Each structure stands twice: as C-alpha cells, then as structure tokens.
Structure 1
C-alpha cells in the first residue's frame, strides 16, 4: 500500500506532464485511444466517486465560520468564467461548436486539482476545498442553467437533459462515495491516499480520448482553441484575484479564489459536450485540462516561492530585532 501511495503522490506532482504526454501520443497514434471515447462519463463518475470518499464535514466548516468568503468564491466561480467565456466567444466570432465548448468550460465548477495548487501556492487551502465542494454540489442546477442562458445563442441547449447528466456524472457518484466512506470508514481511510492516482489516470484518459477522436479538427482549429483557452484561463486567475482583493479578502484568500476561478472541472465540460453537442465542442474542455494544470503549477510555484522568500525575510527581521 505504501508503494501505491508513493506512486499516487508522484502522479499528482507530475500531473501536468502526464496530460501533455498522453495528449501528444493521442495526436500521433489516435487509434490507440479512440476506444476510450464511449467511457468518458464513466471515468468522470469514478473521479467524482473518489471525491465523495474524501469529503467530510470539516470540508464545509468554512461555510459556517466564514460564509462571506465562501459566497464570494462560489459567485466568482459561476459569474467570472461563464461570462468571460461568452465575451471571448462573441468578440472572437468563434465557430458555434467551439463557442459552446468554451462556455461549457466556464459554466462548470472548480477542478479538484485547484486544492493542491492552492496548497502549493501557500493560499487558504481550507477555503479552496470548501469552494470546490460547494460549486460541485451546485453544478447540477447552475451548469445547465448558465449554459442555456449563454450558449443557446450558438446552438440549441437542453438544460433538462444536461441536468440529468450532471446528476448522474457528478452528484450520484459523490453521494455514493460518501455512503461508502460512512459504511467502510477504516478501509476508505487506508485507501484514500491512492485516490489522486485514480484521478490522474481518469483525466489523462479523458483528454487522450477527446484528442484522439478529434485529431483532424484539432490540427485545423487547435491554435485558435489553445489561444482562447489560455486567455480564458489567465483572465479567470486575474479577475478572481482582483475580485477577492476589491472585496478586501486577505492575501492567502485572494490566491485561493484566483486559483478556484481559473481552474475548472474541464473533464465535466468534456463529458457534457460529448454527450449533448459534438466531438468538436469537447475539444476546448480537453485542451483546458492540459493547459490549466500547466498554468496552475506555474502560478502555484511562483506564489509558493514568493511566500518562502517573505518568510525568510521576516525571520531575518525578527532575529535582528531580538539582537
């Protein structure tokens, strides 16, 4: 079990590299990954089941102890990213399927890897976990509603069908995970450290499936989609940080909100796009999965090193004062 835990930690720390590697392999050898396509929803369900097994009452303490902070984070999540996506799609005159795919990414809750990035950035990890949990539980209602409101300009949207899909893919697996954790607490506690490995394998497989199934379209429109994804992600970080700063949250909270807003559950966007729109609409979600893990790691590394330098300077100042 310890070997599996070590492998899980290694996979989590090198997540971005694995996503990049298998996205590249899927472009070079698409035939080796297309078989995964029909199982995208199942893979995401397994990831959400794992998330359910890691949740506890403590993850929601911030809701009661700092409700304003959580509310700001959740509102920022469901306002900044969807409307930024809509603005980019409209301003850049994106093709309908790509526009819907970008909006879907924006309308999804925060990604689970945001919690790890917040921790590495020396942000408020407890706040990050709570915002992710709350936004994920609200997703069955808000993701279809926001998609209907913003994406129906380009393609017909069935909010009812999407609601059912999100319930099946997200809410039910999380509830099952919580039930399993309650019934088999000791066994779950022993195995929970291996769950990051499951999440890494699941997201990598989803990205590889979408990339392999859309090779020609990615080669044709990939640069445009990549540019939009990078801009969408960067604006999410910047506007999330700015919103938290304007609302007078402290620096660790600002970092948590920025990362929560910028990093999306793009696996869910990919699954919903595949099920309700078209393979091309799933491409923004797949590329976002690759990019936000790269950008999140870079941002977390920058903030983490900055925090270390500040701590070292503070220690030197304290020693001088003591002397």
Structure 2
C-alpha cells in the first residue's frame, strides 16, 4: 500500500510530464485514443468524485475568517479568465471552434492542481482550497451563463444542456464523494493517498483522447492555440495577483489568488467541449492542462526560492 501511495505522490508531482506524454501519444496513435472520447465525461466524474472525498467542513472555515479574500478570489476567477479569453479570441481572430474552446476553458472554475502549486509557492493553502471548492460548486450556474454570454456569437450554444452536463459531471460526483466520506470515513481516508494517481490517470487519458480526435486540424492550428493558451494563462496569473494586491490582501494571498485565477479546471473544459463542439474545441483545454502545470511549477519555484531567501538569517 505504501508503495502505491509513494507512486501516487510521484505521479502527482510529475503531472505535467505525463500530460505532455499522453498528448504526444494521442497525436501519434489517434485510432487508439479516439476510442476514449465517449468516456471523457466519466473520467472527469472520477476526478470530481475524488475531490468530494477530500472535502471537509474545515476547508470552508476560512470563508468566515477571511471572507474578503475568498470573495475576491471567486470573483476574479469568473471575471478575469472568461473576459481575457474573449479578448484573445477577438484579437487573434480565432476560428469559431477554437474561439469557443478558449472561452470555455476560461469560463471553468479553478483546478485542483492549484492547491498543490499554492503549497509549493508558500501561499495560503486554506484560501486556495476554499476558492477552488466554492468556484467549483458555483460552476453549474456560472460557467454556462458566462460562456453563453461571451461565446454565443460563434456557435449555437445551449446553456441549459451545459448546465445539466456540469451538474452530472461535476456537482453530482462531488456530492457522492462527500457522502462517501461521511458514511465511510475510515475507508475513504485510507484511500486518500491514492487519489493523485487516479486523478492524473483520468486527466491524461482525457488529454490523449482530445488530441487524438482533433489530429487532422492540429497541424494547422496547434501553434496558434498554444500561443493563445500561454497568453491566457500568463494574463490570468498577473491579473489575479493584481486583484489581490489592489484589494490590499497579504502577500501570501496575492500569490494564492494569482495561482487560483491562472489555473483552470481544464478537464471540465475538455469534457464539455468534446461533448458539444467537437474535439478541436477541446484542444485549448488539453493544452492548458499541460501548460498550466509547467508554468505553475515554475512560478511556485520562484516564489518558494524568494520566500527562502527572505526567511534566511542575515
């Protein structure tokens, strides 16, 4: 069991490597990975169920202790990334499917990987968990509403159907995970160490399936999507940091909200895009999954080194 837990921790820390590997394999062996496309919603459900298993009332204590920081984080999450995606789609004159994919990943809640990156960056982990959890719980309403507002000009979009999908793929698995934790606490806590492995395997399979399904068009649009994703992610970090700074939050909260805003639940974006708009629309989310873990790790390394220098005795 301890060996599996150590393997799980290793895989969780090297997520970006496995995500990039599966993206390459999906491109090289599309017929193998395209078979996974119908399973994408189920794979995302597994990730969300795992998130539900880890949630506890203590995760929301910070909402009562520091409500301002949580509110600023959630507002920034659902304002900065969607509108940044919309502006990038207009500036780069993106084709409809790609524009929709970029705006969709921007309209998603924060990703659970942000909690790990916040820890590595010496940020406020409790704040990170609270913002991720609350934005995820609000996603069934806010994600389709914001997405429809910004993206309906490109493609025909059913916000109602998307609302139902997010309930099924996100909220229901989380509720089931929380219930399982309540009724089978000892068993679920024993399995918690395995969750990074299960989550990483699920997400990288989604990435492989999405890349495989969009291979014919990736050769033409891959570099453009990658450039837009890098800008989207970087602007998210910057504006998240500035939102916290202008709100006069402490420095650890500024780092935390930068990470929370810049890192998205790209698995949800990929699942929704693949279900409603085709594999090409899911590619921005797939690339985001790879890139935000790389950029987040680099940012965390910088902030951790800075914190170590400041705490070192003169």
Q: Runs (4+) of structure 1 moved beyond 6 Å?
A: none
**How big is each residue's C-alpha offset from its partner over 1:222-270, in whole Å with a ceiling of 9 and x where there is no partner?**
0000000000000000010011111111111000000000000011011
Is residue 211–residue 279 contact of structure 2 (8 Å, CA) maintained in 1?
Answer: no
Q: For residue 36 of structure 2, give the secondary structure of its aligned residue in structure 1.
A: helix
Q: Which residue of 2 aligns with 1:179?
A: 179
| Distance in 2, Cα, partners of 1:279 & 1:10 | 30
**What is the CA-CA distance between 1:31 and the residue it aligns to?**
2.2
**What is the CA-CA distance between 1:219 and the residue it aligns to?**
1.4
TM-score, normalized by length of structure 1? 0.96
Q: Which residue of 1 aligns with 2:302?
A: 302
| Distance in 2, Cα, partners of 1:236 & 1:173 | 28
Stretches of structure 1 that go unaligned for 5 or more consecutive residues are 317-323
1:254 equivalent to 2:249? Answer no
| Distance in 2, Cα, partners of 1:50 & 1:276 | 25
**After the TM superposition, which residues 255-270 of structure 1 pair with which residues of structure 2 at under 5 Å, given as runs?**
255-270=255-270
| Distance in 1, Cα, partners of 2:286 & 2:41 | 14
1:141 equivalent to 2:141? Answer yes
1:209 equivalent to 2:209? Answer yes
Q: Which residue of 2 aligns with 1:156?
A: 156
Q: For residue 33 of structure 1, give the secondary structure of its aligned residue in structure 2.
A: helix
**How big is each residue's C-alpha offset from its partner over 1:19-69, in whole Å with a ceiling of 9 and x where there is no partner?**
111111211222221111110000000000000000000111111111111
Instruction: Between 287-296 and 27-36, report the one with greater CA deviation.
Output: 27-36
**How big is each residue's C-alpha offset from its partner over 1:266-292, in whole Å with a ceiling of 9 and x where there is no partner?**
110111111112221111111111111
**How big is each residue's C-alpha offset from its partner over 1:100-120, in whole Å with a ceiling of 9 and x where there is no partner?**
100000000000000000000
| Distance in 2, Cα, partners of 1:305 & 1:39 | 41
| Distance in 1, Cα, partners of 2:249 & 2:66 | 11
Q: Which residue of 2 aligns with 1:85?
A: 85
Q: Which residue of 1 aligns with 2:36?
A: 36
| Distance in 2, Cα, partners of 1:141 & 1:45 | 18
**What is the CA-CA distance between 1:214 and the residue it aligns to?**
1.0
**What is the CA-CA distance between 1:309 and the residue it aligns to?**
1.3
Q: Which residue of 2 aligns with 1:319?
A: none
**How big is each residue's C-alpha offset from its partner over 1:151-186, in whole Å with a ceiling of 9 and x where there is no partner?**
001111111000000000000000000111111000
Stretches of structure 2 that go unaligned for 5 or more consecutive residues are none
| Distance in 1, Cα, partners of 2:157 & 2:67 | 33
| Distance in 2, Cα, partners of 1:308 & 1:32 | 46
Is residue 240–residue 261 contact of structure 2 (8 Å, CA) maintained in 1?
Answer: yes
Q: Which residue of 1 aligns with 2:118?
A: 118
Aligned residues: 314
| Distance in 1, Cα, partners of 2:308 & 2:219 | 41
| Distance in 2, Cα, partners of 1:308 & 1:197 | 30
Q: For residue 111 of structure 1, give the secondary structure of its aligned residue in structure 2.
A: coil
Instruction: Between 32-41 and 260-269, report the one with greater CA deviation.
Output: 32-41
Q: Which residue of 1 aligns with 2:311?
A: 311
Q: Which residue of 1 aligns with 2:239?
A: 239
| Distance in 2, Cα, partners of 1:157 & 1:29 | 31
TM-score, normalized by length of structure 2? 0.99
RMSD: 0.7
